[in-house]
Each structure stands twice: as C-alpha cells, then as structure tokens.
A and B are shown apart, each in its own frame.
Chain A
Amino acid sequence: MNWTRWSMIGKVVLGVWMAGVLVAAFLVEKPDLGQVGRIYFFHIPVAWVTVLSFLLSSLYGIRYLVKRQRLDDHRAANAATLGIVFCLLATVTGAIFARVTWGAFWNWDPRETTIFFLLLFYAAYFALRAAVADEERRATLAAAYNILGLVVVPLLVFVAPRMAELAGLHPNELLIGGQGGMSPPVRRVFLAALAGFTGVFVWVLDLANRTARLGEALADDEEA
C-alpha cells in the first residue's frame, strides 16, 4: 500500500478522532475550574499550534536562506497563515475564558502577553510580505524578519512574568502555569485534543504546501 493510501486512512482516522474529542470534551466530568474549564480543551491546543506554526515558519525561512528554493518560502508563508489564524483563535478563546473566570477580557499575564506578541509579529510579517514586490527579496526579508522574531521570543518569555506582577494578578499564574489540577479522564481528553488539533494543523499545512508545489510545477512546465 502506498503513501497516499496510508495518508487517506490517517485522515479518516483523524476525522473520527476529532469527532470523538469533541464529544468527550463536553461529556467528560466537569473540570475543576467548572464548565468553563472545558475551553481548555480548545484554547491550549490552538495556542500550541500557533507556536508550532511560528517555529515551522522560521525553519522554512532558514531553509530558504540556505537552499534558495522558492517552495520553502511558500511553505513559510503557509505556516504563517495558519499561524495567524490559530493565534486569533487562541487570543479570542483565552479572552473569553479570562472574562468568565477573572472578570476581565485582558490582563497582560505572561501567556496573554506572549500570544499578543505573536499576533503582532504575524501581522507585521504579512505587512512586510505585502510591501515587497520582488519575489526573492520578499522571501529573503520575510525569512530575516522571522529570525529576528525567533531571537526576541526568549527575551519576551523572560520578561512577560514581570508584566503580570505589575498587573498584580498572581492567581493567573497558578492556573495557567500548568496542567496541574486535571483529573485523569480530563487529562486524557486534553491530550487527545492536543494530538487532534496538531493533526488537523499538519493536514491543512500539507494541503497548502502540496498546492504550492503544484503551482511551482505548473510554472516550471510553462517555462519549459
């Protein structure tokens, strides 16, 4: 059986898996945080995916700078596109959760600060891409900006808790700090959701990249 067959089966499995996750997310016992805690089955995987996208986009960018293959730049842009979509989802779900749990949509706690940075970064990344006409320059500058972003992230992570201290919101850190406080069934659903969302991300990114490759193949055919 070839790869295509295997991937088709895998995608069907993913479909069923995610359906299962969705059912379980709402039917599993009430989490410690209350019914609103169910948001975590969606908010954290989605936030994780946006971070993953950021890393992938940077890697594709670096690979472009090394190998100079246009396809890598397309891949970087695709990853960034998915990244910003998931970042918006993460920000919104996080804000909803924050409003219900702590009364305010936005608090500048460490996680919120880093997700906000990511949102700004993605917006800036696409603004840069839009402003450069030449393909090669665009790819080079986009990859360079991506690397700059990558360098800044560790510093931001170091700095973010200070912002929370300033805002005076310690309880946040306890809750967001980890998955501490999940009973085994809840944790199982959470991990399954994590895997499921990652799978969906990989599938969609793969689709976009395959489409890009088709585009390149057609362009090459025209030239030949």
Chain B
Amino acid sequence: MSEVTALYIVMAVALAIWLGLFAYLWALDRKVRRLEREIRREQAGHE
C-alpha cells in the first residue's frame, strides 16, 4: 500500500468519525433546545 493510499484511508476514517460525532452532537443539541423551549414556556405560563 502506498503512503498516499494510507493517508487517504486514515483521512476517510477520521472524517467518518467526525461526521458521526457531529450528527450525535447535533441531535443532542436539538433535544436540549426543545427542553429549553418547553421550560421557558412553562415558566412564562406561571407568570
């Protein structure tokens, strides 16, 4: 395997890991955003 091919492979793996991680973080962020909206509405409802 040439050096260049090895580099491409490692890069692809790293990229895949990052994209997976990013998707997960985004999903978490969305959930947290929803909860925050709900809590803000409830607190506004109390007043």
A and B touch in the complex (CB under 8 A): yes
B19 touches A19 (CB 8 A): yes
Point out the residues of chain A lying under 8 angstroms from B8, CB to CB: 26
Least distance between B24 CB and chain A CB atoms (Å): 10
Interface size on B, residues (CB 8 A): 21
Q: Give B30's nearest chain A residue, CB to CB.
A: A8
Point out the residues of chain A lying under 8 angstroms from B43, CB to CB: 217
Q: Quick one: which of A1-41 are within 8 Å of B by CB?
A: 4, 8, 11, 15, 18-19, 22-23, 25-27, 35
**How far apart are the CA atoms of A25 and B12 in the complex, in Å?**
11
Taking a contact as CB atoms closer than 8 A, the residue among B3, B15, B25, B36 that contacts A19 in the complex is B15
Point out the residues of chain A lying under 8 angstroms from B10, CB to CB: 26
B32 touches A22 (CB 8 A): no
Per-residue contact bits, chain B 1-18, to A (CB 8 Å; 1 contact, 0 not): 001000110110011001
Q: Which 8 A-B pairs have the closest CB atoms?
A: A26-B11, A15-B22, A26-B7, A22-B14, A22-B15, A210-B32, A217-B39, A214-B35
Residue A145 interfacial (CB < 8 Å)? no
Least distance between A147 CB and chain B CB atoms (Å): 30
Taking a contact as CB atoms closer than 8 A, the residue among A11, A22, A26 that contacts B26 in the complex is A11
